[in-house]
Amino acid sequence: MRLIVGLGNPGPKYEETRHNVGFMLVDAVARAFNIRFERLGRRALWGSGVIASEEVILVKPLTFMNLSGGVVREFCERYNVPAGSVVVAFDDCDLPQGRIRLRKSGGSGGHRGVGSIIECIESAEFPRIRLGIGRPKYGELNDYVLRPLAPDEKEALQDMLQRGVASVETLLKEGIESAMNKFNR
């Protein structure tokens, strides 16, 4: 079983922001593979299904991004999912807008949501799908990531999400190394 986690912030205020592209990817995966979300208390939206002959649970923590680790730990414990079977999708301002980069494992790279997961599951040995949002040309990074995408950015976002869905399927079918070779260009 695989746990596929998208990071973001809950609520309509954050729905269309750059910081929520992890949620957007998990939503796109759910649509592509006909997986419906169910609510689990107030801590997560989740749904289960099958992708590439593998059982998956899609999770969107509702605790705000920087506290996502506790939710991921709960799902890992409840469904006996080891750290290496968790896949985390999140925004990355160090990648140009629209780029995808998969990693087998590693540190948080300064991303507090990823840092929370590493701390709570006591491991950094899980695959990640980094979704490029770029950096602001001017202004503060916090304002930039929490601002809605501009209309001219939405086409690049849709393309990135399609490639993200394909990367998830490849990762599950062929493994992380194959997915990295195909999508880290």
DSSP labels for 123-185? ---S-EEEEE----SSS-HHHHHTSBPPGGGHHHHHHHHHHHHHHHHHHHHH-HHHHHHHH--
The phi and psi torsions of 161 (rounded to 5 degrees) equal: -65, -40
Residues 6 or more apart from 49 whose CB is under 8 A from it? 30, 33, 34, 35, 55, 56, 58
19 is catalytic: yes
Two tokens at 50?
């099958």
Kindly name the residue from 2, 19, 128, 130 that is annotated as catalytic.
19
Residue 9 neighbours by CB distance under 10 Å? 22
The phi and psi torsions of 10 (rounded to 5 degrees) equal: -75, 155
Supply the residues annotated as catalytic: 19
